[in-house]
Structure 1
Amino acid sequence: MSIAQTLKHYTCHDLTGRLKDLLRDVGLDRAPLPVAKLAPLDQFHSGGLSATIELANELRLVAEDRVLDIGSGLGGPSRYIAATYGCAVEGIDLSPSFVEAANFLSERTALSQRVRYTCADALSVPFDPGSFDVIWTQHVAMNIADRAAFYSEAFRLLRPGGRFAMFDVVESSNEPLHYPVPWARESRSSFPITAEATRELLGNRGFQITSWSDRTEASLAWFAEREKSRAYDSNVQALGLRFVMGPDFPHMVKTLVKNLREGRAAIVQAIAQKP
C-alpha cells in the first residue's frame, strides 16, 4: 500500500512535455543547459543546491567513483555530481514520469553519457553486489516503511570501503508531525524515524558512521532566504517545485517548516561506510 501511495504522490502527467514548454517559456530552451539553472526545479530537498554541494564536499568525490542516487527524482543532485566531479551516476526512482523527465533533462544538460535513470524499488535495486563506491540519498528514507531492508540493500550494493550518504528528515519529539509535507499528504504514507533509531539501524546493518551533523537550522535559514528570492525572481517562481508537485506544494513546504520550528522534526546529514 505504501509504495502505491508514494508512487501516486510523485506521479505527474505529461511531465516531460510540460517541462519542454516551461523551459521555452523562461528562455532556457537552448542546449546545453547549465545545471545550476535547474536548481529551483530539480533539487527536491531542504537546502536545495547548497545542501547537495555540502554533502558532495563531505564525500570528497573523485571521477573514478561510481555513484548510485536512490530516489533520484528529477535528477538534480546526480547531474551536479556528474558535471562537477566527472563521476558516472545511476539514478533510480519509483516514478516513471520522474525518470523520463530526468533523462530528458540530462540530455538537455549534455550529461546523458555520464548519468542514467531507471525505474526501480529502493528495496530491490537491479544491480550486482558491490557495484558502487557511493550511494546517495536526499529526502528519500521518509517514504520507506522498511528502513532496515533499505539500509541492508544499500550495504549489499556498496563495495568494501564504499560510502552511504544521506540527508533526511527525522522525528525529533513525541509529538506527531503536521501534514501535508513535501513527501506525503498524510501520515499513512510517511515513515520518518528518530536520529537515534537511524544510527542504530545503520549500525545493525554493518555500517560504520563516519560523520553526522544536524542541518535543521541551516535548512530553516535556507527556507527563509528562498522566500525572499521568490519575491523578485520570476524564473525561480516558474521553475519551482510547485510546477511538478501541484498548487498545494507551497503549503506542504510551510508545514515542513512548521514541524522543524516546533521541534517535531529535524534534518540530519550523515555518511556511513561499509567496512
Structure 2
Amino acid sequence: MPTDESKTDTGYETALNEHYGVSGLGNELLDALEAAGKDVDALTRDDIASVDEFHIRGLEATREVADLAEVEDHSRVLDVGCGIGGPARTLASEFGCDVVGLDIVEEYCRAATLFTDRVGLTEKVRFQHGNALDLPFEDEEFDVVWFEHALPNIEATEVAIEEAGRVLRPGGTLALYEICAGPGGEPVFPVPWASDASLSHLDPPDRLREIVLDCGCDETVWKDVTGPSLEWFENVVESMQSRAADAPPPLGLNLLMGAETPNKAANVVQNLKEERIAVVQGVYERGSYPL
C-alpha cells in the first residue's frame, strides 16, 4: 500500500473540498427531498435519481459505460471520485457488484454513506475518503476500476492511472467516462468541476489514451460522446430557462453546484459547442505483465 506523501498536495486537496464540500450536504439534500414530498425515512433510488449522478447524462451514461465494460455480477469495483455515490449504487443494485467508492471530498463521502444506508445498500457499497494519487488499497484488489468525470480535477493523470492499474487485477477492467481538452481553446469558467483554471486539468483525448496504454492496458472500447453530451446539456439549460421566476428551486444537480448552476451549465454548453472540451468513454483491460 503506497505511502509516498510526495504524490499528494494537501493544499490542493483543501481547495477541492472548498469547491465541492457544502457543509452538512447530506442533511441539506434530505431537507430538499422532504420539501419535494419524498418520504426520507423510506427513500428509493428513484427518489434521489435527480441528484444522484453528478456527471453528464446521469444514470443513462453510467448504465451505458457499465454495458460497454461488460461489468459482471459479483465484480469488486473501485469507483474513483465517487461523489455522493450514485454510480456506485447503480453498479451494486443493477449489476450485482460489490463497490468501494473513494473521494477526496469528505462531505461527499459522508453524504454517499447516508444515502446508501437510506436505500438499503450498505452490504454492497461502502465509501472511503482518499486521494486518487495514493490509493489506500492493496495491489490487484479490484476487478474493475471506474472513473466518471474524476480526472478533470487530477493534475497528475499518469499517477492516477498508474495507481488504478496497481490495484486492478491482471485481466481486470479500467472504465473511463471523462471530460477532455478540446482543440477550441481553454474552457470558459466557471464549470461544474472548477470555478477557474486552477482546479481544472484536462488532457486531450489522444494524450489520455496514450497514458492508459503506457500503463500496460489494452484498449477494447473508445467512444467520443461529445454530441449526445451537448444535446443533454442543452436540454438542461433550456429547462432552467423555462422555469418560472417564482418557482421553487428544482430537485436537481443545482443542489450540488450551488447558486452558480445556471452559469456553469451554460458554460458547459458553450465549451462543448466551441470544442473547448470533449467527452469520451473508454474501456481497457489490464495486462498480466508488471506495470
TM-score by length of 2: 0.89
Partner in structure 2 of residue 91 of structure 1: 101
Alpha-carbon deviation of 1:16?
1.8
* Residue 44 of structure 2, aligned match among 34, 38, 41: 34
State which of 37, 44, 51 in structure 1 corresponds to 2:54.
44
Distance in 2, matches of 1:160 and 1:237, equals: 47
Local SS of the residue matching 1:202: helix
Cα pair distance change 1:132/1:32, threshold 3 Å: farther
Matched, 1:266 2:274: no
Whether 2:63 is the aligned partner of 1:64: answer no
Who is 2:8 aligned against?
Answer: none
Cross-structure match for 2:12: 2
Any unmatched runs of 5+ in structure 2? 1-10
Distance 1:236 1:94, change over 3 A: farther
Amino acid at match of 2:129: C
Query: Could you tell me whether the CA contact under 8 Å between 2:83 and 2:109 is conserved in 1?
Result: yes
Q: 1:221 aligns with which of 231, 234, 256?
A: 231
> Where does the alignment leave 5 or more consecutive residues of structure 1 unmatched?
none
User: Is residue 119 from structure 1 mapped to residue 139 from structure 2 by the alignment?
Assistant: no
1:25 pairs with 14, 27, 35, which one?
Answer: 35
- The one-letter amino acid of 2:224's match is D
**1:104 aligned partner:** 114
Deviations 1:81-134 (A, max 9, x none): 111012110001111111111011001111111110110001111111111000
Moved segments of 4+, more than 4 Å:
227-233
Tell me the number of residue pairs that the alignment of Structure 1 and Structure 2 aligns.
275
CA contact (8 A) 2:237 2:266 kept: no
Aligned to 1:241: 253
Match of 1:194 among 185, 198, 204: 204
Q: How does 1:202-217 map to 2 (within 5 A)?
A: 202-217=212-227
Which among 51, 60, 64 is matched to residue 54 of structure 1? 64
Q: Distance in 1 between matches of 2:74 and 2:185?
A: 44
Q: Is the 8 A contact 2:19 2:194 kept in 1?
A: yes
Which amino acid is the alignment partner of residue 86 of structure 2? G
How far is the alpha carbon of 1:2 from its aligned partner? 3.0
1:274 shift after superposition? 0.2
Q: Secondary structure at the match of 1:153?
A: helix
Cα drift, residue 245 of structure 1:
2.3
Q: Deviations over 1:117-154 (max 9, x none)?
A: 11000111111111100011111101001111000000
Give the Cα–Cα distance (whole angstroms) in 1 for the partners of residues 233 and 102 of structure 2. Answer: 27
Which amino acid is 1:255 matched to? N
Deviates more, 1:37-46 or 1:195-204: 37-46
Cα distance in structure 1, aligned partners of 2:180 and 2:163: 20
TM-score (norm 1): 0.94
Mapped to 1, the partners of 2:113 and 2:99 lie a distance apart of 12
Q: Distance in 2 between matches of 1:82 and 1:229?
A: 31
Q: Which amino acid aligns with 1:103?
A: T
What letter is aligned with 1:20? L
